[in-house]
Amino acid sequence: MPDRAIERVPVLIVGAGYAGLSAAAMLAWRGIRPVVVERHPSTSVQPKAFGVNPRALEMLRLLPGFESELAEIWSGIGDGMRIGITGNLADPNRHMIVDGNDDLAHFAEITPVPDLGAPQSQVERLLRAKAEAHGADLRFSTELIALEQDAGGVDVRLRDVRTGERRSLRADYVVAADGWRSPLRAMLGVPTSGKGELGRTFSILFDADLSGLVNDREVTLWYLRNDVFTGALVTGTGVGVHVLGVNYDPAKGESEEDFTEERCRELVRIATGRPDLPVKVLDRNAFGVAHVLADRYREGRVFFAGDAAHTMPPTGGQGGSIALIDGCDIAWRLWLVLTGQAGEGFLDTYDAERRPAATLMADIQLANLAMRMPPAARVDYPEPVEDMTPAIIGYLYRSSAVLTEPGDDGAPVEDPLHPTGRPGSRAPHVNLSRDGRALSTIDLFGDGFVLLTGDDAWTDAARTVAWNLSLRLTPYRIADGGAVPGPDGVEVLRDPRGEWTARYGVTTAGAVLVRPDGHIAWRSPGAVPDPSATLTEVLTRILSRS
């Protein structure tokens, strides 16, 4: 590739969907200014995924204003997603399988974040605004057409899809968030596994008055089974705006060309049970229902995220949130390496941790497909999982960035209602107090590493080690009683209920090291002879620093 006038950037992100935009926003917030290229002219106009699960929101709320602005969008839509099964909306035998927030009530005991949601199109617009506000460079109508990498970086060729103009760019790293067909994955020869494409769906965004059939302020997903088609209808995504997905089978000679505008209106009338319903078709597109898993998430300096890493059936509604978590996750890891806080080998932990977690969720949603939308594709499905909470917020990571303890059973999940505080798990939510104001332990995480302890010896050591390793590491001393002065520069937080040690599996003389993603990297149940030497050894190992 030509050397002249090559633009150089720390991170190039290919794709401006959930994974790409969350990576861009979180990198930019951390001071790394990425370039994002997206072949479409803008973010999605289709609602697509709905909702942001609690774990994704815990990571995204670090963006100033994100949580409050998402809450404002949510307040204009409704209160929880309902899920039902019917032949059409007028069918008197239609019934609900998930009603409102009943299945999410227990999250209030696990996390301080509220239950919020919005159509993907609106969340993407919010993420785009946050990314650009913090300095990310988003380039729409731009596609990647060639890529070569070496030990020091990645050379790419970009093309403006409107003008055909081409230009070169060199990046330290590339995040491939370019969708389930992922041209980058194919270009790099990364193999995939899973059940493959399970079917095709045609999505119809339409405007119609469904008064008397649905409440515009209640977002409801209806699984449709009737004599004409199977599919899904999402109502209440906005006043008068709804989405119908109709399954079709190319093996039977069916194709997306069959879905003319008039045919789309007819299908909407069948789905609603109102043969004379006035329907305005706003947008149409086809997509595959698939279970496709990349066999590795890292190929040299390229990292796969979102659907490019794991495409899962939509039955369960977690695919979008898993993509958001991917983007947030690769962002903090790249930030540590690009700022010299971690060694290059640390980036191997992305595949080691995210691939098993995403595969677990993909398999759960595959099982849901067979249960909720029969007859599904003829494949062997895993057993359905009734409670998805452990897979959403109770996943345990295993990699060199987690120092496990003797006797750890290696289980992939734990019950988040009864946390153990063991390394690899998400750090538990505990209610604390700062100057008389309530806060959660979750509020402390995200801006670097955090050390929680009840002992000044550990806080002194943390400050020394942070200086020596040029590492962003913040110690907090937690006290059960009233206001207790701490060492200069160390914040003391109150634990009014005396819960934190039990939740984290330590004594007040112990310490817990929490990573920027809120997962526990290591803990010491009690005191050690030399806290500084211990912390130095732990962090050197975790961060792949020789």
Average pLDDT, the chain: 90
Helix (H) or strand (E) holding 150: strand 142-150
- What pLDDT digit, counting tens, does each position of 161-174 carry? 999 999 999 999 99
Distances (CA, A) of 85 to 91, 155, 211: 10, 50, 19
The confidence score (pLDDT) of residue 237 equals: 60
> 446 pairs with which residues across the strands?
448
* Options 173, 223, 248, 350, the catalytic residue: 223
Considering only CA atoms, give the Rg of the chain.
24
* 223 labelled catalytic: yes
- What pLDDT digit, counting tens, does each position of 476-513 carry? 999 986 545 566 678 899 999 999 999 999 999 999 99
Instruction: Could you list the beta-strand ranges (E) of 209-326.
Output: 219-225, 230-238, 241-248, 280-294, 298-299, 302-304, 310-311
C-alpha–C-alpha distance, residues 428 and 434, integer Å: 18
Q: Is the pLDDT of residue 339 over 70?
A: yes
Q: Which residue has the higher pLDDT, 118 or 425?
A: 425
Average pLDDT over residues 175-182: 95
Phi, psi angles (nearest 5°) of residue 304 = -95, 140
**Reduced 3-state DSSP string for 441-472:** HHHHCECEEEEEECCHHHHHHHHHHHHHHCCC
In order of their start, the domains of the chain are 7-78+118-193+291-377 (3.50.50.60), 394-542 (3.40.30.120)
Nearest partner of 132 among 231, 287, 24, 240, judged by Cα:
24
pTM of the model: 0.92
Instruction: Could you list the beta-strand ranges (E) of 19-94.
Output: 35-38, 81-86
The confidence score (pLDDT) of residue 2 equals: 44
Q: Is the pLDDT of residue 518 over 70?
A: yes
- What pLDDT digit, counting tens, does each position of 43-68 carry? 987 777 777 899 999 999 999 999 99
Classified as helix, coil or strand, 308 is helix
DSSP letter assigned to residue 347? G
Residue 279 has which token pair?
Answer: 């329907």
**Other CB atoms within 10 A of residue 340 CB:** 11
- What pLDDT digit, counting tens, does each position of 526-538 carry? 999 999 999 999 9
Q: Is residue 83 a contact partner of residue 219, using CB atoms and an 8 Å limit? A: no
Collect all residues with Cβ–Cβ distance below 8 Å to 383 and sequence separation of at least 6.
367
Residue 402 has which token pair?
Answer: 């987690």
C-alpha–C-alpha distance, residues 182 and 193, integer Å: 14
